[in-house]
Structure 1
Amino acid sequence: MTNNMHVETRLPRNGKEGIIFLLIISIISVNTIAPIIMGLERGFSNEVYLQTLKIIPFMWVVVVLLVNFVADPLVGKVMPKFIGKTDGFNAKVLLNTLLHVTFLSILLTIIGHGLVPNK
């Protein structure tokens, strides 16, 4: 008789690993996405990049809070509607990532629109 229980070892398995993973991903995302968006909006220059660096700590906190208190609960409610018991790891991770990115993109667009003054 085979045991169908599969312990997932590819994702963070405890709180410490989860925090480390969140820090790495969020720091990479905020330090990549914010400068690119600001550069596209205002032009790529050292001055624009330095202005971006000033807002990054604030946005990093906002992103971490949004992930934990808004996106995770929303994704947790939506995921069961699309994922079945027989779906594989890759399908679950792909949908989870797609839903997180979609929700965060919508939320951060709304927040960013409120922060950037009209021209």
Structure 2
Amino acid sequence: MSGAPFHTDLPRNPKESITFMLVIAVISVNTIPVVIGGLTSGFTLAMWTGLLQVMPALLVAVVAVVLLTMKPAQPLTSRLVRPGDSFRAHMVLHALCSVLLISLLMTVVGTWTGARQISTEPLEQFAHLWPRNCTIAFLIEALLA
């Protein structure tokens, strides 16, 4: 062991990073859209089977958006935490910043993917959709983490 605090070594290698991201993405894609879809159109078998059909595309979209938002989340997090803050503070704020950025993009991309079409609807409804989507995503991610 290098003597450095354990948290400075997370993730310890690219394989762990990829594995963690995929596990969280698969769980997220199987929970977040179900809750959002259920609140939007009702928790029905038809809603769930419709989501099952687009889940592979949603998984690809989530992984792409996570990769796209990784770098911007780091400076955002470092603006909110200080070097002496606890590991828990760093992790919670990094998760919050990541979920915030991911939810901004997935509110639009997820709607397009679920509807199987690109439209202006998620942009027009953004102020209404995003706060709910971000809250749901953060609560689910908080339970996962």
TM-score band, normalised by shorter chain: 0.7 to 0.9
Higher share in helix: 2
Cα distance in structure 2, aligned partners of 1:11 and 1:87: 16
Structure 1 residues 54 and 108: alpha-carbon distance in aligned structure 2, compared to 1, 3 A threshold: same
What's 1:42 paired with?
Answer: 41
Larger Rg: 1
Equivalent residue number for residue 5 of structure 1: 4
Contact 2:58 2:110 in 1 (8 A): no
The residue number in structure 1 matching 2:81 is 83
1:25 corresponds in structure 2 to 24
| Distance (whole Å) between structure 1 residues aligned to residue 6 and residue 42 of structure 2 | 48
TM-score (norm 2): 0.69
**What is the CA-CA distance between 1:80 and the residue it aligns to?**
2.1
One-letter amino acid of the structure 2 residue matched with residue 50 of structure 1: T
Percent identity between matched residues is 33
Provide TM-score, normalisation by structure 1.
0.83
**Structure 1, unpaired ranges of 5+:** none
Shift of 1:9: 8.2
Runs of 4+ in 1 over 3 A off after TM superposition: 9-12, 112-118
Asked if structure 1 preserves the Cα contact closer than 8 Å seen for 2:29 and 2:58, the reply is yes
Coordinate RMSD, CA, aligned: 2.4
Residue-by-residue CA offset, 1:79-108 (whole Å, 9 max, x unaligned): 222222111100100100110111111111
Give the paired residue count.
Answer: 115
Residue range with higher mean Cα deviation, 48-57 or 3-12: 3-12
Unaligned residue ranges in structure 2 (runs of 5+): 122-145
